[in-house]
Structure 1
Amino acid sequence: MLLSRFLVRSHTTSAAYVAAPPPSLLARAFHASLPRRAIDMAKVNTTERLAELRKLMKDRQLDVYMVPSEDSHQSEYIAPCDARRAYISGFTGSAGYAVITHEKAALATDGRYFNQAEKQLDGNWELLKQGLQDVPTIQEWTADQVEGGKVVGVDPSVVTAADARKLADKIKKKGGEYKAVSENLVDLVWGQKRPARPSEQVRVQPLEYAGKSFADKIEDIRKELEKKKSLGFVVSMLDEIAWLYNLRGNDIPYNPVFFSYAVVTPTTATLYIDDSKLTPEAKDHLGDKVTIRPYDAIFEDVAALSAESFETNGETTEKKKFLTSTRASWALNKALGGEERVDEVRSPIADAKAIKNETELEGMRKCHIRDGAALTEYFAWLEDQLINEGASLDEVAGADKLESIRKKHDLFMGLSFDTISSTGPNAAVIHYKPEPGACSVIDPKQIYLCDSGGQYQDGTTDTTRTMHFGEPTEMEKKAYTLVLKGNIALERVRFPKGTTGFALDAMARQFLWAEGLDYRHGTGHGVGSFLNVHEGPIGIGTRVQYSEVSLSVGNVISDEPGYYEDGKFGIRIENMVMVREVETTHKFGDKPYLGFERVTMTPHCRKLVDMSLLTEDEKTFLNEYHQEVFDKTSKFFQNDSLTMAWLKRETAPY
């Protein structure tokens, strides 16, 4: 997979890797399941697909049909079989919503994907750039289509119950009707060409990396049920189920999760999964503490469970409710009996999972050292190839080389997302993905942005470095330094317990704002422990949900401000940090104060730093950081003179 398109020579491998053990069966399975980069930025002709969909809509007396991005588990990243919105629209970004009427079609997405959507959508589609002034939300646009009693249809398994209620009210006020349609119409259009549902093996995440047994986690959930006087918790988010049972899978590219549901009651724990997916080790791991039921049995079972708990011997009992996450589907909510039988809450599993235990935190520290060493080796090699060897390397070849270097490190399981390897103008496309045969050759005279991450059995990484191997322009240096100052300011901030990521967002933007500059993405996202690289409920940014959950000791979160000029260049600097308690001279209100511990270990780009814009404190901070990078990663390059020389140069004091 890694080297089939890679034609230039690489320098000698460090001896530090020679004795590395072979990857485990799980690592090989996880890595082998990942798809090749095949993101086509060309337009797809959707005329025939839309015509077939509209015929199905007419047959079912639907005037409007909605196609969200998510699967039945509200996953951000989905399996190919669930990429319905991408299939019907041609737009392949991870965030977006399609709505089709008999005359029009609209696609809504956010600022990360404006450029990509403009390139991929054909003339059948109207692009709604969410967040821009005077641009309607997709819900507003949909409601505007229903006057005269029109009917809006949606597959209830791919929308949340909360979103369904809000939109139903909005549509009703306009005189329309919002209707659940049990069959997914895009699946019918897709037909036999639709990819098969994955059926990968599910394996155990050992206690030495998980840090807490699944039995203890289930007992914690039962304590929450007791507090809330609830009948049980129906779990639908895939990463929550993987974390709860200390299991990992391969069903979704780059996310070590598996298709499943779970139900935890005061006396039972049930996992809904195709039995063939569980290895003997996984079955032994679960033992008699967990009942295994078929994946498709969830709706029938929860309906029966809800009815049984509601009525005993013909008499209505106390109306206790089941808990579901606010991300649970409308279909699941309906099966449980709707609002009378369900309390929708922020998932207690999500909250617990976001606060890493000491084992997970130590795993994060260790895997970021190995991952940082891989990035350093890659950037040293890339500069040598471009400048000294005069090699012609495209963006995909660069990404493949980086993956091959990561693969040599202990506990590597695969990538945590598709590598963003982007040169020049491509770096301005925030979620750019290079495509074999249609990407750009890396130009050493232009900005090179690399956003990448690895899945390791002891943690998950996500790092962005913006490099320049020639002579950057003054504007490039200024923009980079303003972003770097924001990155440093956020990493150094101290704040009282109870502070949210919403409140901290301006720390990273302040230097850009002072120049009238900004960026159209969040500043930070939570990161899983050998789980999803994007993990809620915490984050740093202006999304309303980031104002609802305060940062806590044990959170792992990214710090990634940026700046982008369409058609020219893009800059992003991303480090992972961990929330910890810090000492302060005073403790106003007797509150503990928190700060960040850095874990990303690879240098910043010296050529892009405008030293005149840095304060002495910022220079000291960078020097201390680079010394730590050198101390922790140089051991990997004792027999690699090329990388060692590059590391010494890039970590030298300012």
Structure 2
Amino acid sequence: MSSDTSTATRPANLTDSGPDAAARLDLLRNELKRRGLDGFVVPITDEYMSEYVGSYAQRMAWLTGFQGSAGSAALLGDKAAVFTDGRYTIQVREQVPGDLYDYVDVPASSPAKWLVKNAKPGMKVGYDAWLHSVDWVKATAKVLAAKGAELVATDGNPIDAVWESQPAQSPAEAKVHDDTHAGKSVAAKRQEIADWLKENDCDATIVTALDSVAWLFNLRGSDVTHTPVALAYAIVHADATAELFIAPGKVTDAVKQHLGNSVRLHARDDFEAGLADLAGKTVAADPERAVAGIFEALEAAGAKIERLRDPVVLAKAVKNVAEIRGHKAAQARDGAALTKFLRWMENEAPKGEQTELSAVDRLLAFREDTGKLLDTSFDTISGAGPNGALCHYRVDEASNRRIAPGMLYLVDSGGQYADGTTDVTRTIPVGEPTAENRRRFTQVLKGHIAVDRARFPAGTTGGQLDTLARQFLWADGVDYAHGTGHGVGSFLAVHEGPQSIAPPHSKPGTDEPLRPGMILSNEPGYYKEGGFGIRIENLVLVVPVEVAGAEKQVLGFETLTFAPIERDLIDVALLTDEELAWLNDYHARTLALLAPQLEGEDKAWLEEKCAPISR
């Protein structure tokens, strides 16, 4: 995710300069005291409920130093806490001072539970209504009220009042996403939303998720690093017209012509006024994606609110023919770039002269050499040895580790191309791997193959498939603390709902039926704290499968990502004949797809890596 006009997802300068963590906490507490508040809750999100957000919205990173992409913080007058899940257990302790904050595990606890435990009767705890869901506000207000405390919406965000060097929002222009990549015109998409509104007896719907707005209007931007979106809100009406609220400086003549007269343009700052214009209307709003402030504004206007999921979400997740074709093209060029990198690493890493950061730079250069890379799809996870055990590790100058013989090296990376978004992980040994390395890698590979080969009836959810990936690790009493798969966008967010593959009820989307056209990751892993990390990740497409004698529709996965899987880490004795056949077939397809894009030593290396493996 890099662009001259974008804002960094987790920029180091948010925590590397200015007051230290203790001073920042004091600044915020003094501001809260000035406002008559006893506490405050700080989520990692923005007014669009985004996962990745612009620098201006990195309030938790500025306050606590935490650089992860999921979590929150809460503070009272004499104590504070950060809340993260199992992916960040190690990272949060390295980045957030333990003398200032308690470390609280989610979902075992939550900010609401912590506040109820620590707040005293009469206390007023502040929150920004434009950063929290309406359900969170109602639930938290209820439990605090039972304690005799009060949840209070703030007038503006108090962190903004004390963050002197807070970055400005990106001024970058929006860009037209061509219909040849989108596969469907804006007019056709608006009509589908209008039909949905009529079916649900609604006059209008609020579209707030940035990737939903981008998909609906076939627009892209660079306001958020790694995710090609422009900051905007939308209201779509049952007559198929729409209102787009976006900063005027982002709207070029090309964008105006592209949108046409049926899309009325307004300044982004006029969005609340636009909500007020819906008085007396029946309005669909998504409680998972529209913040509490939107619901409050609609209620104040006298609109009737229907709590319905954003209709763009499923339409965006089920890729059309053009999007699938583009994604495959992006994967092919990305796989060739990754293959060049893997050969380079195999040659250079054993010399002991490379670091995690130099590897990131080299991989980026290979992708840039394609001439089509527009951004990376997330901060590259480049983990050597024990850093690889941090499943969402982000290397910086402070943590940068030299890659040395005897280590495993994990690299999870992706690219943003106009025709598709990629996300791939490979793990390689530097020198001779241990028996433990091989056993765990092969167990992860077996789980990966089990998911890839799965056949399942229509209506099956990702939660039902998750155990396929974990079963071989479970047999040894080990596991991994992240989901097995997430949805991926079409030149959009690398993490896209509603579908996911993860333990049931562990995260949103695990109960979402998988549908043909959905793209997901397949990424089981294993992480030994202080030792090493392993992950194998490909993207897969849900497709119909012909099964003789089937009594209902059967679905399966088509592999989309092609790059060699490290053969030196495989204990062939642990593979069944079917698994070995899958691996040899995968490598044969990898060679057929990538070899025409390579030459010389790169091509010869790929041929060696993709040669059939026998017992």
TM-score by shorter chain over 0.5: yes
- Write the distance in 2 (CA, Å) between the matches of 1:566 and 1:62: 40
- Distance apart, 1:436 and its partner CA: 3.2
TM-score by length of 1: 0.90
- Write the distance in 1 (CA, Å) between the matches of 2:507 and 2:353: 45
- Distance apart, 1:325 and its partner CA: 4.9
Unaligned 5+ segments in structure 1 are 1-26, 311-319
> Aligned partner of 1:224: which letter?
W
- Distance apart, 1:42 and its partner CA: 8.9
| Counterpart position of 1:647 | 606
- Distance apart, 1:587 and its partner CA: 2.4
- Write the distance in 2 (CA, Å) between the matches of 1:221 and 1:260: 18
Judged with a 3 Å threshold, the aligned counterparts in structure 2 of structure 1 residues 30 and 211 are, in CA distance, closer, same or farther, namely: farther
Judged with a 3 Å threshold, the aligned counterparts in structure 2 of structure 1 residues 541 and 356 are, in CA distance, closer, same or farther, namely: same
| Counterpart position of 1:513 | 474
Tell me the matched-pair count: 606
Q: 1:283 aligns with which of 245, 256, 268?
A: 256
| Counterpart position of 1:125 | 101
> Aligned partner of 1:51: which letter?
D
Question: Which string of whole-angstrom CA distances, capped at 9 and with x for unpartnered residues, describes residues 317-355 of structure 1?
Answer: xxx344345310111111111797222222110110000
SS at match of 2:383: strand
- Write the distance in 2 (CA, Å) between the matches of 1:183 and 1:36: 22
Q: 1:414 aligns with which of 375, 399, 402?
A: 375
TM-score by length of 2: 0.95
Q: 1:362 aligns with which of 325, 330, 342?
A: 325
| Counterpart position of 2:194 | 222
- Distance apart, 1:628 and its partner CA: 0.2
- Write the distance in 1 (CA, Å) between the matches of 2:248 and 2:78: 45
- Write the distance in 2 (CA, Å) between the matches of 1:249 and 1:106: 35
Question: Which string of whole-angstrom CA distances, capped at 9 and with x for unpartnered residues, describes residues 95-124 of structure 1?
Answer: 111001000000000111111110011111
| Counterpart position of 1:6 | none
Q: 1:77 aligns with which of 27, 46, 52?
A: 52
| Counterpart position of 2:242 | 269
Q: 2:342 aligns with which of 379, 390, 397?
A: 379
Q: Would the aligned equivalents of 1:428 and 1:564 in 2 still touch at CA under 8 Å? A: yes
- Write the distance in 1 (CA, Å) between the matches of 2:502 and 2:465: 8
| Counterpart position of 2:206 | 234
Q: Would the aligned equivalents of 1:407 and 1:414 in 2 still touch at CA under 8 Å? A: no
| Counterpart position of 1:205 | 177
Q: 1:464 aligns with which of 415, 420, 425?
A: 425
SS at match of 1:157: coil
- CA RMSD for the aligned pairs? 1.9
1:188 pairs with 2:161: yes
Higher RCO, Cα 8 Å, sep 6+: 1
- Distance apart, 1:549 and its partner CA: 1.4
Question: Which string of whole-angstrom CA distances, capped at 9 and with x for unpartnered residues, describes residues 113-148 of structure 1?
Answer: 1111100111111110224xxx52222111223341
> Aligned partner of 1:93: which letter?
G
Q: Map 1:223-622 to 2 at 5 A.
A: 223-267=195-239, 268-303=241-276, 305-307=277-279, 309=280, 320-337=282-299, 341-387=304-350, 390=351, 392-436=353-397, 438-542=399-503, 543-588=506-551, 591-622=552-583
| Counterpart position of 1:20 | none
Q: 2:592 aligns with which of 616, 624, 631?
A: 631
- Write the distance in 1 (CA, Å) between the matches of 2:202 and 2:286: 10
Say which is worse superposed, 444-453 or 174-183, in terms of deviation.
174-183
SS at match of 2:278: helix
- Distance apart, 1:546 and its partner CA: 2.5
| Counterpart position of 1:173 | 146
Q: Would the aligned equivalents of 2:380 and 2:412 in 1 still touch at CA under 8 Å? A: yes
SS at match of 1:156: coil
- Write the distance in 1 (CA, Å) between the matches of 2:7 and 2:444: 32
Identical-residue share of aligned pairs (%): 39
SS at match of 2:73: strand
- Distance apart, 1:162 and its partner CA: 1.6
| Counterpart position of 1:317 | none
- Distance apart, 1:36 and its partner CA: 9.9
SS at match of 1:61: coil
Question: Which string of whole-angstrom CA distances, capped at 9 and with x for unpartnered residues, describes residues 461-504 of structure 1?
Answer: 00000011311011110000000000000010010101111111
| Counterpart position of 1:13 | none
SS at match of 2:191: helix
Q: 1:104 aligns with which of 60, 75, 79?
A: 79
Say which is worse superposed, 419-428 or 279-288, in terms of deviation.
279-288
Unaligned 5+ segments in structure 2 are none
| Counterpart position of 2:31 | 56
- Distance apart, 1:413 and its partner CA: 1.1
- Write the distance in 1 (CA, Å) between the matches of 2:376 and 2:245: 27
Judged with a 3 Å threshold, the aligned counterparts in structure 2 of structure 1 residues 35 and 175 are, in CA distance, closer, same or farther, namely: closer
> Aligned partner of 1:460: which letter?
T
Q: Would the aligned equivalents of 2:352 and 2:402 in 1 still touch at CA under 8 Å? A: no
Say which is worse superposed, 326-335 or 485-494, in terms of deviation.
326-335
